[in-house]
Amino acid sequence: MSSLTAKILDGKALAKKIHQELKQRIEILQPQKQRPPGLAVLMVGDNPASAAYVRNKERACTKVGIASFNRHFPADTTQQELERVIDELNQDSRVDGILVQLPLPKHLDPIPLLYRILPEKDADGLHPLNLGKLVRSETGLRSCTPAGVMRLLKEYNLELSGKRAVVVGRSILVGKPLALMLLEQNATVTIAHSRTKDLPKLTREADILIAAVGRTELITADMVKPGAIVIDVGINRVEAKDGGKSRLVGDVDFDNVAAVAEYITPVPGGVGPMTVALLLQNTVDSYERNA
């Protein structure tokens, strides 16, 4: 194991700071609004990872003073039933943010559901109107994970203008919106994906390397330019060999890459807590704007 020389981008600490700021904003706004902000997370089925994320979000809401209107549906819930509930929540003046916890069971199509959420209550920033605003660099609700990554880079005053950024992963949830946000900050951005040829050659050119793939230790030390900023979005569960407790790891071989990079995010404690913090921030932003 190599020795760590990179500085840690501490998402856990920054998320805590953001929670504190949000709590104060809510305390100021609540007397005039006569209600707390509200967030509704819709979950279908019993995916254990999703259940853990939903619990995390609910705990964070309680801490900052956001009311949870979470709904948990059985795995065989129909598309029509979910659409009906979204319509109901769209009309509910106590609810400022609505999000559908993905992935959904196979028989459900998430796209019409994401379209159905009112854009001004779209806490996850995945409605096409909000994605369109991002493309145009307009103010709107932005996807929480990429927005969390950008906030973390900003916190550490890391200059992005003119830098080479390589985003590995092109999902609508992380890779694509993150590439647009980096471009907005004047980075020169390349998106790599499963069909990219010679990934190591590309990643070695990156001043800022983002891994958002979902593959344990895809990014090894020889793929990283010395002095790079490495952001690990991946969350992978690794079973213990001796049958002990499983653990969470990212897409980056942390120990070895930390000996080459200048900055690195840990997993857990990096991007994960930032995603939750930005979800709460989106909810409070909507609360402030909505009647």
Q: Enumerate binding residues for ligand NAD (CB under 6 A).
A: 145, 168-171, 173-175, 192-194, 196, 199, 212-215, 233-236, 271-272, 275
Write the single-letter amino acid at 184: E
CA angle 189, 191, 195 (to 5 degrees): 155
CB of 88: closest distance to ligand NAD in angstroms? 27
CB of 74 to ligand NAD, least distance (A): 24
Query: Which residue, 275 or 286, has its beta carbon nearer to ligand NAD?
Result: 275
In degrees, rounded to 5, the angle at the alpha carbon of residue 120 between the alpha carbons of residues 136 and 129 is 35
Catalytic residue among 10, 96, 101, 163: 101
C-alpha dist (Å) from residue 113 to 23, 24, 83, 172, 275: 30, 33, 6, 15, 21
d(CA 177, CA 124): 12
Q: Which is nearer to ligand NAD, 11 or 36 (CB)?
A: 11
The catalytic position among 10, 57, 251, 281 is 57
CB of 27 to ligand NAD, least distance (A): 27
Q: How far is the CB of 291 from ligand NAD (least distance, A)?
A: 31
219 touches 199 (CB < 8 A): no
Supply the minimum distance, in Å, between the C-beta of residue 194 and ligand NAD: 4
Known catalytic residue at 101? yes
Question: Can 207 be counted among the known catalytic residues?
Answer: no
Least spacing, CB of residue 168 vs ligand NAD, in Å? 5
Known catalytic residue: 57?
A: yes
Closest by Cα among 288, 290, 289, 280 to 124: 280
Which is nearer to ligand NAD, 63 or 215 (by Cβ)?
215
Q: Toward ligand NAD, which CB reaches closer, 29 or 199? A: 199
Q: Which CB, 85 or 168, lies closer to ligand NAD?
A: 168
Residue whose CB is less far from ligand NAD, 90 or 196:
196
Q: Which of 10, 96, 122, 124 is catalytic?
A: 124
Catalytic positions, please? Answer: 57, 101, 124
